[in-house]
Amino acid sequence: MTYEAGFSMEASEGARDGRDISGRLDRMARMIDSLAGLPDPSTAGPAACALLAAEFPDSGMCFVVRPATVQQGGETILADYPYGIGLTDCIGGEILTIPVDLETATAGHLPAASLVAWRSRGDRRFTAAETDLLTAIGPHLRRLVTRLLTAGATKKRNALDPETGLWPLPSFLAQADRRFDRLDIEERVGTMFAIGWVRSSGTQGSEASSAVIRESAETLRDMLRPSDLIGRIGPTRLAAWCDGVDHLVAAERGDRIVARLDAMLAGTGRHVAIGIASRWSRSGDDPAAVLANARSGLEQARLTAATTGRPAVRIWQSDIS
C-alpha cells in the first residue's frame, strides 16, 4: 500500500468516526432536551443520568452543583446514576468533570454546575472519543440543570436503588455499621463479598449491562439468606454482607455464586469475579474498610478471570494484599 493510499484510508476512517460522534451528539442532545421539558424535574434528572450512562457503558453519572462561596455550604448532588451513589464510588476510579455553563441561564451569584462521569476502580478508562463526546454534551445540559436547580431538593429520595431494589453504597455502609456493633457485642464474625465482572481479551462492549446487574441482584436475593445485606456499590459492582459467616464458609458460598452468575453470561466473553474479606469481632474495622478489603480481593479476582477466561474468587489477606 502506498503512503498516499494509507493516508487516504486513515482520513476516511477519521471522517467516519467524526460523523458517528456528531450523530450520537445530536441524538443525545435531542433526548436530553426532551427530558428537560418533563413536568417533574425529579424524574428528568435521573432519567438523563441513566441515558448518559447507557451511552458510555460501565460508567456512573451525576449532576453536581457547588455554591459560589464556601460559606454557602458544600456540593449538592442534583441527580445520579446509579441511584443514590453520588460521588461515593469515585475513589480509585477515573473521573471526568464536564462544566455546565449556567451564566446565561441564571441571575445573581452563580453556582458551579457540572456533569461528573466516572468508572469504578479497575474498570477500563474513558477513550479519547468518549471524552470528546462528553465534553461536547456539556452545553446541551444547561436547560436541564437549571430546572433541577430551580426545583431544589423538594422531593424525598427513595431509600433503595429503583433499578435493582438494593441499598445504594452510602445506605449499604450505614446498614452494615449497625450490624457491626451487635456482632462485636456477640463476638461473632462476618464477611463482605464484592462482586464484579470482567471482559476476556478481545471482547468488546460493556462489562456488565443494566440487565445483567438486575438479573444478578435477583439471583443474589435468591441465593443468600433473607438476613443478609445486599447493595449496589457502583455502576458494575454489587456487594453483600453476611453475619456469622467466616472466610471458609464464604469461600464455598463465593464458588456457588460465581458459578450461578457466570452461567448467565455463557458465550459472551465475560466472567464474574468475587472478592471476599472477613471481619472478626472487635477488630475495629468499619464497613468502609472491610468493603475496601473485599474490593482489593475483587481486583485480584478480576485479573485472574481476565487472564484465565474463567470466573474467579479471591479472599483478601492483609499480609499479601
In DSSP terms, which residues pair with 64 in a beta bridge? 77, 114
Task: Give the lowest-confidence range in 97-106, 229-238, 274-283.
Answer: 97-106
In degrees, rounded to 5, the angle at the alpha carbon of residue 217 between the alpha carbons of residues 84 and 61 is 30
> Which of 23-27, 64-68, 239-243, 311-315 is predicted least confidently?
64-68
Distance CA 291, CA 172 (A): 10
Q: What pLDDT shows up at residue 4?
A: 43
Residue 245: give the domain boundaries: 167-315
pLDDT at 68: 64
Task: Please indicate, yes or no, if residue 158 is contained in any of the structural domains.
Answer: no
Q: Say whether both 209 and 105 belong to one domain.
A: no
Higher pLDDT, 155 or 222: 222
Q: What percentage of the chain has pLDDT greater than the value 70?
A: 86
Q: Is residue 157 part of a domain?
A: no
Give the residue among 282, 277, 283 at the shortest CA–CA distance from 254: 277
Number of domains into which the chain is organized: 2
Question: Is 156 a member of any domain?
Answer: no
pTM value? 0.87
- Is the domain of 292 the same as that of 262? yes
298 neighbors 275 (Cβ within 8 angstroms): yes
CATH number at residue 93: 3.30.450.40
CATH of the domain at 196: 3.30.70.270
Residue 321 pLDDT: 46
Q: What is the pLDDT of residues 49-92, one digit of tens each?
A: 999 999 999 999 999 998 765 545 578 999 999 999 999 988 88
Tell me what the pLDDT averaged over the chain comes to: 87
The residue among 168 and 90 whose pLDDT is bigger is 168
Instruction: Write down which residue in 151, 185, 217 finishes a domain.
Output: 151
For 70, the 3-state DSSP assignment is: helix
User: Which of 82-91, 128-137, 152-161, 228-237 has the lowest average pLDDT?
Assistant: 152-161
